[in-house]
């Protein structure tokens, strides 16, 4: 199915329908992952975006999961967390840095991952 960390929740869960609309939704989710990867390579207003990633790394440690090469099962745990308060929220993480330059891409990421 591909690299687990880039696969949509529907594909990970095996619930994807093989129609154009469903496959497009998977592609949009993956596009959000690509945007995140691009965003994490830049420095804005002298702030290292890796500081944002640190917050996610902490969550992965708490859940005892691998950040570098998560398995399909580990990705399912993260994507389908029963407690929504434990699920990483990009918006709140990036807003904690109060960077206006991120606002548009954060909105796009949130739309891609809905």
CA 12 – CA 76 distance, rounded (Å): 7
Query: How high is the pLDDT of residue 54?
Result: 61
Query: How high is the pLDDT of residue 114?
Result: 62
Residues of the chain with pLDDT under 70: 1-2, 39-68, 78-106, 109-110, 112-114
First to last CA, the chain: 20
Query: How high is the pLDDT of residue 59?
Result: 58
- Phi, psi (5° rounding) for residue 63? -85, 0
pLDDT one-digit tens code per residue, 30-46 = 887 777 777 666 555 56
Is the whole-model pTM more than 0.85? no
For the chain, how many structural domains are there in total?
A: 1
CA-CA distances (angstroms) from residue 52 to 17, 39, 71, 81, 85? 34, 11, 22, 20, 17
Query: How high is the pLDDT of residue 1?
Result: 57
Q: Which domain holds residue 65?
A: 4-112
Query: How high is the pLDDT of residue 12?
Result: 78
State the CATH number of the domain containing residue 66: 1.10.510.10
């Amino acid at each position: 199915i591909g690299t687990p960390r880039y696969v949509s929740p529907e594909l990970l869960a095996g619930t994807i329908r093989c129609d154009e609309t469903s496959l497009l939704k998977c592609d949009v989710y993956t596009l959000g992952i690509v945007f995140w990867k691009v965003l994490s390579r830049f420095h804005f207003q002298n702030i290292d975006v890796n500081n944002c990633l640190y917050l996610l790394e902490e969550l992965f440690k708490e859940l005892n999961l691998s950040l570098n090469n998560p398995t399909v099962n580990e990705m399912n745990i993260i994507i389908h967390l029963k407690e929504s308060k434990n699920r990483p929220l990009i918006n709140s993480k990036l807003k904690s840095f109060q960077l206006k330059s991120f606002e548009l891409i954060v909105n796009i990421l949130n739309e891609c991952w809905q």
